[in-house]
Amino acid sequence: MTHAPARLVVLVALTAAASGCAFLPSVGPSRADVQNSSHRPESANIQVVDVDDQIVRQLLAQRVQKMFSETLGDSSERSQILGYGDVLEVSVWEAPPATLFSAGAIDGRGAITAARATIIPEEMIDSDGTISVPFAGRIPAAGRSLSAVQNEIVERLTGKANHPEVIVRLTFNASRHITVVGDVNQSVRVPLNPSDERLLDALAAAGGVRQPINKMTIQVTRGNEVQSLPLDTIIRDPKQNISLRAGDVVTIKSKPRSLQLVRLNIQQNPPPTPDYLEQVSAERPASRRRRPE
């Protein structure tokens, strides 16, 4: 009988705790509500997939990096095609006796020496894609090579000038360039020329990267295609140092930080049962020890 007051206190506390559960707020539907619901999600929206070895291999195959040499190729544009905004210089030679352009110098005996070149002031290819040459008129230039423009000027001057010879030189390249931006010392537009500008050449023109090489990634955007590779991969494999094309955008980015999570299966021992609860359980009749459903 000495334990009666203690048992009474414990039973009162358990009863109060059990009755308090009835006053807890309910959030969301119950289990019965979900099971009895007439709404069923469409199978196309929710699918349960068993992650087996084949699924894992497919996911890993999607993460395989594609090399620049495979996706962007290594073919360079060596032909110098003119475009809008390019500035050209035209030089014209005319055999003596010159009829249109400057004649050669006359020596003391009255003989005419070799002809001198007449350099026409630099001219930009305007919005209609042409330049103006004296006695030849408007010459189409945009979308053509330097040699094609030279030949047309000669054809226009033939019959007007005495055996004309023409040289066209590109003095400012405004239409063929690539852009380098991102984590570099200086963002820059690099003009392309027939010398075959490559990826690391463009990076050097931008002053190099700001971070260590092993922390940088190079992204090349060509039209609608975007490809990326780590910078150290490009340095180790010369095939990935691809030739650039007009309009390419080279973006230098820091590699995203990765966090590797390790799952530890640690089995913790359950907390010890207080002595007074063990005593109550031992003294409770066997018919009442069953746990409620």
pLDDT tens, position by position, 107-142? 444 444 556 788 999 999 999 999 999 999 999 999
Residue 28 lies in a domain: no
* Position 106 pLDDT exceeds 50: no
The whole-angstrom separation of Cα 149 and Cα 123 is: 13
131 and 94 inside one domain: yes
191 and 236 inside one domain: yes
pLDDT band at 143 (very low <50, low <70, confident <90, very high): very high
Residue 100 lies in a domain: yes
What pTM value is reported for the model?
A: 0.57
> Do residues 140 and 130 touch, judged by C-beta distance below 8 A?
yes
* Position 80 pLDDT exceeds 60: yes
pLDDT band at 220 (very low <50, low <70, confident <90, very high): very high
100-104, 209-213, 237-241: the lowest-pLDDT one? 100-104
Relative to beta strand 177-182, strand 188-191 is antiparallel
Q: What percent of the chain has pLDDT over 90?
A: 44
Q: Residue 208's domain spans which residues?
A: 176-254
Q: What single letter denotes the amino acid at residue 207?
A: G
The whole-angstrom separation of Cα 214 and Cα 118 is: 55
The secondary structure element, H or E, covering residue 247 is none
The residue assigned the tokens 């000495």 is 2
* pLDDT tens track for 163-193: 899 999 999 999 999 999 999 999 999 988 8
* Overall number of domains in the chain: 2
Q: Take residue 218 and report the two structure tokens written for it.
A: 């190079």
Q: Take residue 40 and report the two structure tokens written for it.
A: 């069923």
168 and 187 inside one domain: no
- Average pLDDT of the chain? 77
* pLDDT tens track for 259-271: 454 454 555 555 5
Which one has a higher pLDDT value, 49 or 210? 210
- pLDDT of amino acid 234: 94
* Position 23 pLDDT exceeds 50: no
Residue 71 lies in a domain: no
Q: What single letter denotes the amino acid at residue 191?
A: P
Note the residue count of the chain. Answer: 293
**101 Cβ neighbours under 8 A, 6+ residues apart:** 92, 93, 94, 118, 161, 164
Q: What single letter denotes the amino acid at residue 127?
A: S
- pLDDT of amino acid 107: 45
- pLDDT of amino acid 108: 45
The secondary structure element, H or E, covering residue 272 is none
Residue 111 lies in a domain: yes
Question: At 182, which CATH number?
Answer: 3.10.560.10
| N-terminal to C-terminal alpha carbon distance within the chain | 33
Cα pseudo-dihedral 272, 277, 278, 282, rounded to 10: -160
The whole-angstrom separation of Cα 156 and Cα 132 is: 12
* Position 159 pLDDT exceeds 60: yes
Q: What percent of the chain has pLDDT over 70?
A: 64
CB neighbours of residue 236 within 10 Å: 9
